[in-house]
Structure 1
Amino acid sequence: MLLAPKLSCPTVPLSNGLQIPIFGLGTSHDGGYSHDTIVYALTECGVRHIDTAKRYGCEENLGNAIRESGIPRRDLWVTNKLWPGDYGYKAAKKACLDSCSQMGVTYFDLYLMHWPESTQPGCSNREMRAETWRALEELHKERLCSAIGVSNFLVRHLEELKEDCSVVPHVNQVFTNDMTHQVEYHPFQQPNQLVEYCRQEGIVFEGYSPLAKGQVLNNPTILRIAQKYRRTSAQICIRWSIQNGVVTIPKSIKKERIQENCQVFGFHLEESDMATLASLDDGRHVTWDPTNVE
């Protein structure tokens, strides 16, 4: 296999002054982890942004891969996510510390609430979100989490959090992963109202797995644009997301796919092609979404 050129990745500023790499590598619990591929991404491709979650069950393995890579911890951006089963003030703080221990790190660069709905009895979703967010605020204050955020929150969830708590989320991550019931962001589903709200509030918008479960790869319009730039459909969609200012976290367990996905900074989509891709929004959902979560 030809080695990929080392990635030179731009960053996006967070409201607290930190800089998050605009491109990263995602993992998942459904066959979404490969030790050799993670090491390859870090050592041969220059990836410095890794996204995981307790839900994925690969924290210990991922920590081992990071250590094997030899990349200093200070040079990495590591995102982890808190599962709803650990919501609540005490439970959330314990879960974060446990995840740090599992990965063999002393802090996370970004720690997210994974989903707006609580599985804990006795409280409304809003009450539990607020209680849990206050735990994340404490973790941030204690520097166990350099930045804190949410995942799959809609405008109304974010508005309530602003009213109930003191720190506005630094990031709102949205997914296209069919196993975790996510808000989607890809050419076929563009939640522009949510994107614009986040930007107005200083919340960085982050998208995970931007390929619509592979549905974008054989779309005739995307294939035509890919041919124009002599790139793959995946590269076109990742580039489209990045040019929209969205922190983009595709995932793969294949080294050749990681290599391909990393090669998105050597070209620029013309405005007409950006507009064409934007016009593909047909309201299609390839996953569940949190629309009905109160």
Structure 2
Amino acid sequence: MASSPYSLASTIKVGAISMPRIHLGVYMTSGNETSSAVAMALDAGYRAIDSAEMYRNEREVGSAIRKYLASSQLQRSDIWFTTKLANNTSYDATRKAIKESIRKSGMEYLDLYLIHSPYGGREKRLECWKAVEDAIKEGEVRVGGVSNFGVRHLQELLDSKPRVLPAINQIEVHPFNTQTDITSFCAKHGIVIEAYAPLARALRFKHPTIVKLSKKYECTPAQLMVRWSLQHGYVPLPKSVTKERIIANGHVEHIEISAEDMKTMDGLDEHLVTDWDPTDAP
């Protein structure tokens, strides 16, 4: 039987490669907390973990994944590992950063590598992208993408006629920050949106509309927001370090938000930025 398009077992195409639809985020976690969260997520059925050089937890994520694989029937190819470039400085520095992320994580290769932000200016962004392209060519990275890129940054990259098109743009997206201009541009150009902070860091769990719809669909506010993201075609990265919440956040296949209620949730947009917003960087 095929898995639900909104289950932990479901995938989405990024180019010719299938990627899990729900990823565990590990932003602002470290040490044993990171290792424990990854282990609990893998036990719960998650098959994708989103890390970053900037998070300083690639080692813990990789170690937890490798430990899980050693005790299961799964192979390295069954787990999707994402990490990101911290600073856009140069081609050589990017190539070195990619190799260092592989070394730290012990993951042999990176499933998805993202340029974490557009900071640094046009020339640096394009130079770093060339390094990502070469890493893909060399087999160090399977899929390349960007994060926090606005429409102008994306258009600039596409206009440069890259050898490899960006497959992903990871941005903050949730009902209170819908980023419609960016998501529409990405849809037009076949770029998959990964939604970080899909729960708005719990800042709007008590919003009357969220409370009302959570009761209607008999789910938690977090589940409602994850499902909203999935029904928009995004890849959400819910973060938690609590077993019960990790499990709940990944199991939303029993929810079906109506078109009317999706529209209501879309209307909650207030451009709520929960951390940073480099999408308008020069």
> If the length of structure 2 is used for normalisation, what is the TM-score?
0.91
CA contact 1:185–1:207 (8 Å) conserved in 2: yes
After TM superposition, what 4+ stretches of structure 1 lie above 4 angstroms from structure 2?
30-33
Alignment of 1:123-142 (within 5 A): 125-142=121-138
Out of 51-60 and 67-76, give the one that drifted further: 67-76
Identity within the alignment, %: 39
Extract unaligned runs of 5+ from structure 1.
1-6, 119-124, 175-183
Q: Counterpart of 2:11 in structure 1: which amino acid? A: T
AA aligned opposite 1:110:
L
2:232 to 214, 227, 244: 244
Amino acid in structure 2 at the alignment position of 1:139: A
Cα deviation, residue 271, structure 1: 1.1
Instruction: Quote the Cα distance in structure 1 between the aligned partners of 2:117 and 2:229.
Output: 22
Once residues 29 and 140 of structure 2 are traced to their aligned partners in structure 1, the CA distance between those partners, rounded to angstroms, is 28
How much is the aligned-residue C-alpha RMSD, in angstroms? 1.5
Deviations 1:200-251 (A, max 9, x none): 1111111012121212211111111110111011100110001000010111
Indicate the SS of the match to 1:34: helix
Q: 1:50 and 1:30 mapped to 2: Cα distance? A: 13
Partner residue of 2:184 out of 176, 196, 201: 196
Q: Structure 1 residues 162, 199: CA separation in 2 closer, same or farther (over 3 Å shift)? A: same
Show the counterpart of 1:75: 78
For 2:250 and 2:192, how far apart are their aligned partners in 1?
21
Match of 1:18 in 2: 17
Deviation at 1:291, TM superposition (A): 4.4
Q: 1: CA distance between counterparts of 2:236 and 2:27?
A: 15
- One-letter code aligned to 1:100: I
Per the alignment, do residues 31 and 282 of structure 1 end up closer, same or farther by CA in structure 2, a change over 3 Å counting?
A: same
Equivalent residue, structure 1, for 2:4 = none
- Cα separation, 1, equivalents of 2:224 and 2:25: 18
> Is 1:230 the counterpart of 2:221 in the alignment?
no
Q: 1:185 aligns with which of 158, 173, 186?
A: 173
Partner of 2:113: 111
**Aligned residues between the structures:** 270
- SS of 1:111's equivalent? strand
Conserved? CA contact 1:29–1:55, under 8 Å: no
Gaps in structure 2 of 5+ consecutive residues:
1-6
The whole-number CA distance in structure 2 between the counterparts of 1:87 and 1:250 is: 30
Distance (whole Å) between structure 2 residues aligned to residue 147 and residue 250 of structure 1: 21
> Structure 1 residues 105, 31: closer, same or farther in 2, change over 3 A?
closer
Match of 1:37 in 2: 37
How far did 1:31 drift?
5.3
Q: Give yes or no for the alignment of 1:262 onto 2:239.
A: no
Aligned partners of 1:53, 1:166: CA distance in 2, in Å?
Answer: 24
- Residues of 2 paired with 1:285 and 1:89: CA distance? 31
Instruction: Answer yes or no: is 1:170 the counterpart of 2:167.
Output: yes
Q: Does residue 193 of structure 2 align to residue 205 of structure 1?
A: yes
* Matched residue type, 2:271: G
